[in-house]
Amino acid sequence: MLRSLLRHTGGARWVSPLALLGLWELASRLGLIPERTLAAPSAVVRSLGQMILSGELPDNLLVSFWRVALGLAIGVGVGVVLALVAGLSRRGEYAIDPIIQIKRTIPALALTPLFIVWFGIGETPKVALIAFASTFPVYINLYAGIRGVDVRLVECARSFGLTRLEQIWHVILPGALPSLLVGLRYSLSIAILMLVVAEQVNASAGLGYLVNNARDFMRTDIIVVCLLVYAALGLGADALVRMVEKRALAWRPNLVEA
């Protein structure tokens, strides 16, 4: 009966994570895992509460959130514009797509030294790294989505007398919207990843700043807290896109049975 209840409520999915946390706590208390190697879950929770109450975590989280939000907004905006130009025009494709395909093969992390030379060690290189990395998933998916729209739908819209702009707005963009949302989800995860890297570059505030200070003082509890916050940012961003996807694509038939 208990097994059936867990299966229907989804509780079975939490058994292994909770068991892992229990083993981690037990090993820490028995001294099998030294505190300098990895703090116990209870110590992590205690540090999390102290950092929230002191305002240290909220203040630095706000700085990191601003960096990732600004970089993501720039990257997604550029990616959408480039995909529209390349996807809707043959000339635009010849002018933009080859350059994008070349640039996307360059690892964003490899550009860190160059961005520091160009923009210094302030906020600009951090935001620029996030923006650069988050541009390509949006471009690639939206471009593919535009080119993947059924030609028969476009011809039908043309037969009803829709202008080119109306065809784009009422047929092509709605047809490419699922691909855009997939690209946005990829961009969000990459933006969080690049935030972790960017904040290692001479950060004076933010989650990366907390991690660097904690590393210097061997505070593994604070490092784990920051890692959990990074994970929470990624999960929250993905949940937000899923919510937008559910509302924006309500017209699409659901092929998965409940």
Is the pLDDT assigned to residue 12 strictly greater than 80? no
Mean pLDDT score of the chain = 82
Where residue 150 falls (left for φ over 0; alpha for ψ -120 to 50; beta otherwise) is: beta
Residue 71 is predicted with a pLDDT of: 92
Identify the sign of the CA torsion 132, 79, 176, 149. Answer: negative
Q: What is the pLDDT of residue 32?
A: 79
- The CATH-assigned architecture of domain 40-248 is Orthogonal Bundle (1.10)
Judge contact between 226 and 207, C-beta under 8 A: yes
Q: What is the pLDDT of residue 2?
A: 43
- Check if the beta carbon of residue 106 is closer than 8 Å to that of residue 49: no
What is the C-alpha separation between 194 and 164, in angstroms, rounded?
38
Q: Which residue has the tokens 């009966």?
A: 1
Per the structure block, which two tokens stand in for 234? 């990624």
The pLDDT tens digits of the residues spanning 154-177 come to 778 778 778 878 787 778 888 888
pLDDT tens track for 31-87: 777 777 788 888 888 888 988 998 888 998 898 889 999 999 999 999 999 999 998
pLDDT band, very low/low/confident/very high, at 246 (cuts 50, 70, 90): confident
Query: Which pLDDT score, from 0 to 100, does residue 108 have?
Result: 78
pLDDT surpasses 90 at 139 = yes
Q: Which residue has the higher pLDDT, 257 or 60?
A: 60
Q: Taking the model in full, what pTM does it have?
A: 0.79
Length of the chain: 258
Convert the pLDDT of each residue in 104-131 to its tens digit: 788 877 888 888 888 887 888 889 999 9
Give me the pLDDT at residue 255, please. Answer: 42
How much is the pLDDT for 131? 92
Instruction: List Cα–Cα distances, 242 to 81, 178, 181, 233, 247, in angstroms.
Output: 23, 11, 9, 14, 9
Does pLDDT of 242 surpass 80? yes
pLDDT band for position 256 (cuts 50, 70, 90): very low
Domains of the chain, by residue range, sit at 40-248
Residue 211 has pLDDT above 70, yes or no: yes
Residue type at 67 in one-letter notation: R
